[in-house]
């Protein structure tokens, strides 16, 4: 296992989609390679930060405008007899 | 839509327990239940649409159309997946149509791209335990939005679906009409690029 193979398997490793033998050999490499450890750790954090980030609130004007338009259309749909 | 294996590795951050009840009520004609679903997911769907289309007007239209379509086709939702995942699929399809319309000459999203082998990143610096805490919520949101906007569409869309919306690799492949290996190679490229671009904000040396 070398640094290049770690990068190649990075996505499967982070998603825990590797067979145990490969996983163990990656972890053995990581124990002795500071650079790979940092890459694995910061890539994992990249995913976590995006995954946990809350979307910004919509500006009030946009929210009201979009909801009004949406519910106007939904009410129109509801009032139509179903085909 | 075919049921596919849902993603198991990460706890879902997007589904609340009462979602099935709300969907059932909306199906039975309770419009206020549908309103609750809209208010719960509109921010997420808007961000998804914005991240894919990179155009405010298209993002607004995408969100409108996605909720409208979801309402119209609610009776077809069988509960084989989470409602949110189903909604994401609808929104992605709407967003992709807009993107293709606005940028017809760019690389087709379901075309195989030769990504080649990724090399070991050059910038290798530790970020410390919770680097995102150094930024205010709104500032962090801007950093994340600007950074993902810098990626080419084939990469940012895969990352959006897989790592932000938490679809499985198989679901992502199905929605985008890609093979599983293509999703994986794009995801690896996207993750490494985002990591590299975020490095300047999160590395320890500048901030501690």
pLDDT tens across B82-124, in order?
899 999 999 999 999 999 888 776 656 666 666 667 778 877 8
User: How many degrees, rounded to 5, is the angle at CA B135 between CA B132 and CA B141?
Assistant: 80
Q: What is the pLDDT of residue B204?
A: 83
Q: What is the pLDDT of residue B110?
A: 65
Q: Which residue has the tokens 């990143």?
A: B121
Q: Which residue has the tokens 């996983």?
A: A23
Contacts of A36 in chain B (CB under 8 A): 120
CB B7 within 8 A of CB B166: yes
H or E, element range at B48:
helix B31-53
Q: b or e along A18-55 (b: 16 or more beta carbons within 10 Å of the residue's beta carbon)?
A: beeeeeeebeebbeebeebbbbbebbebbbebbbebeb
Average of per-residue pLDDT across A27-51: 95
Structure tokens at B73: 């086709």
Q: Pick the more confident residue, B4 or A51.
A: A51
For A20-29, A70-79, B128-137, which range has the lowest pLDDT when averaged over its residues? A70-79
Residues 46-105 of B with CB under 8 A from A: 46-47, 60, 63-64, 67-68, 71-72
CB B73 within 8 A of CB B139: no
CB B91 within 8 A of CB B60: no
Q: What is the pLDDT of residue A36?
A: 94
Residues 128-187 of B with CB under 8 A from A: 131-132, 137-138, 140-141, 144, 148, 159, 163-164, 166, 169, 184, 187
Q: Pick the more confident residue, A9 or B13.
A: A9
- Cα-flanking dihedrals φ and ψ of residue A33, to 5°? -125, 105
SS3 B1: coil
Query: Distance of CA A79 to CAs A21, A82, B29, B66, Å?
Result: 61, 9, 11, 20
Report yes or no: B204 at the A interface, CB cutoff 8 Å: no
Please report which residue ranges of chain A form alpha helices under DSSP H: 3-14, 20-32, 34-52, 60-79
Structure tokens at B204: 């320890």
Q: What is the pLDDT of residue B150?
A: 94
Residues of chain B with pLDDT under 70: 1-16, 105-116, 205-208
Query: Distance of CA B162 to CAs A52, B10, B85, B115, B137, Å?
Result: 13, 11, 11, 18, 23
As a whole number of angstroms, the distance between CA B28 and CA B4 comes to: 26
CB under 8 Å to B68, separation ≥6 — which residues? Answer: A70, A73, A74, A77
SS3 A33: coil
Contacts of B195 in chain A (CB under 8 A): 39, 42-43, 46
Helix axes of B83-102 and B56-72: crossing angle, nearest 10 degrees: 140
Q: Which residue has the tokens 């890459």?
A: A39
Helix axes of A3-14 and A34-52: crossing angle, nearest 10 degrees: 30
CB under 8 Å to B159, separation ≥6 — which residues? Answer: A50, B148, B151, B187, B190, B191, B194
């Amino acid at each position: 296992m070398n640094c290049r193979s770690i990068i190649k398997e990075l996505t499967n490793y982070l998603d825990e989609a590797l067979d145990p033998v490969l996983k163990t050999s990656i972890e053995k490499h990581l124990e002795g390679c500071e650079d790979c450890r940092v890459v694995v750790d910061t890539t994992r954090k990249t995913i976590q930060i995006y995954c946990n980030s809350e979307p910004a609130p919509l500006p009030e004007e946009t929210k009201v405008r979009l909801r009004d338009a949406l519910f106007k259309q939904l009410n129109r749909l509801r009032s139509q007899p179903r085909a | 839509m075919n049921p596919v294996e849902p993603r198991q590795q990460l706890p879902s951050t997007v589904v609340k327990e009462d979602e099935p009840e709300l969907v059932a009520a909306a199906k039975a004609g309770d419009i206020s239940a549908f309103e609750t679903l809209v208010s719960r997911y509109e921010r997420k769907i808007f961000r998804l649409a914005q991240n894919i289309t990179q155009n405010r007007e298209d993002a607004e239209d995408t969100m409108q159309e996605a909720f409208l379509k979801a309402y119209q086709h609610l009776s077809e939702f069988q509960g084989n997946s989470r409602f949110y995942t189903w909604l994401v699929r609808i929104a992605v399809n709407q967003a992709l149509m807009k993107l293709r319309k606005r940028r017809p000459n760019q690389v087709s999203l379901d075309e195989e791209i030769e990504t080649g082998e990724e090399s070991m990143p050059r910038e290798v610096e530790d970020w410390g335990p919770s680097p995102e805490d150094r930024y205010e919520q709104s500032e962090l949101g801007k950093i994340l939005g600007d950074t993902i906007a810098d990626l080419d569409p084939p990469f940012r869309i895969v990352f959006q679906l897989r790592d932000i919306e938490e679809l499985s690799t198989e679901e992502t492949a199905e929605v985008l009409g890609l093979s599983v290996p293509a999703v994986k190679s794009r995801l690896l490229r996207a993750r490494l690029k985002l990591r590299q671009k975020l490095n300047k904000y999160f590395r320890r040396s500048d901030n501690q």
